[in-house]
Amino acid sequence: MQNTTVFNVLICLLLILIGTIIDEIPSILSGGYTALLDIINTHFKPFFFILATYLTIRLGLKKFGNEVLATCTITSEYFKPDYISSVVLTNCKDKPLVIKSILAEFKGNSHLELIKFKEPLVISAHSSNKVKIPPYSKLSLNGCEYTPDLLDITIILQSDSEYIKCKEPNIKKGLSSVQITKSSRKFNGFIYNESLKYALLYSENDKTYTAFIAANGFLGNEWGYGQCLVAKNGGGNVSNIRQMLKENSIKEWVLYDLNKSNGGRVIASSSNE
């Protein structure tokens, strides 16, 4: 819309200039070179002055304030809640942008810190940068588990002492919303949520893999075999897991119970078979 308005203004100025030249053609023909110089001095100089002033102001505005476009990617994975996995930031201004952290603001006056950079992220003028966002196990708000609407968010950037609201060039001087806290549960470097019951470490071709098993027997994470359930009937109990490992000729394995009360206790292994 803005580019269309600028184009229309330039067309109007050009038509005015052309009309002025047509009106002065008789004077040019009768007065010769001197008349042409007078017309240029009278009509062209103000036109170029207006054009130069407009361009100077427009270029100056490109360096004033901040304007950032943000595009989010939402990822759904088993054993994790849905989360924003990446944010693409586009700096629309003619100056570098320094970012200390990226936040997501939700309806209901709450916000979540998606990522805080150890070293500030610098995005060059008129450039884009894709930022990967780490997952989490769950979110909490005022001590209760919280599930936000990820399709209705506003991305906010912390830059020095200012908060920049993306998609609009205005600046938020502070955040009045309540911060959502996030927690992460990890096993062997992999994040999971409370739907996970067991973790299975197994070896194949001198390499160790980590598979996750839910209470209903669903298999995920690093599981390269065809079946996705431990057993059709009976769910993911230890007996069914042993039988599954035997059927797939997996000889070296360790099974962990990831109940949060015991923190990951070994309950079975191939060395005890």
Question: Is 190:137 a contact under the CB 8 Å cutoff?
Answer: no
Euclidean distance between CA atoms 51 and 19, whole angstroms: 17
Would you state the torsion angle of the CA atoms of residues 264, 266, 270, 273, taken in this order, to the nearest 10 degrees? -150
All residue ranges of the chain with pLDDT < 50 are 1-4, 28-29, 168-173
Task: For residue 43, count CB atoms less than 10 angstroms from its CB and return exposed for 0-12, middle for 13-18, buried for 19 or more.
Answer: middle
Helix (H, G, I), strand (E, B) or coil at 160: coil
Domain residue ranges of the chain, discontinuous segments joined by +: 2-61, 68-183, 187-272
Say what the pTM is: 0.61
- pLDDT at residue number 171: 40
- pLDDT at residue number 123: 93
Q: Which fold has domain 68-183?
A: Immunoglobulin-like (2.60.40)
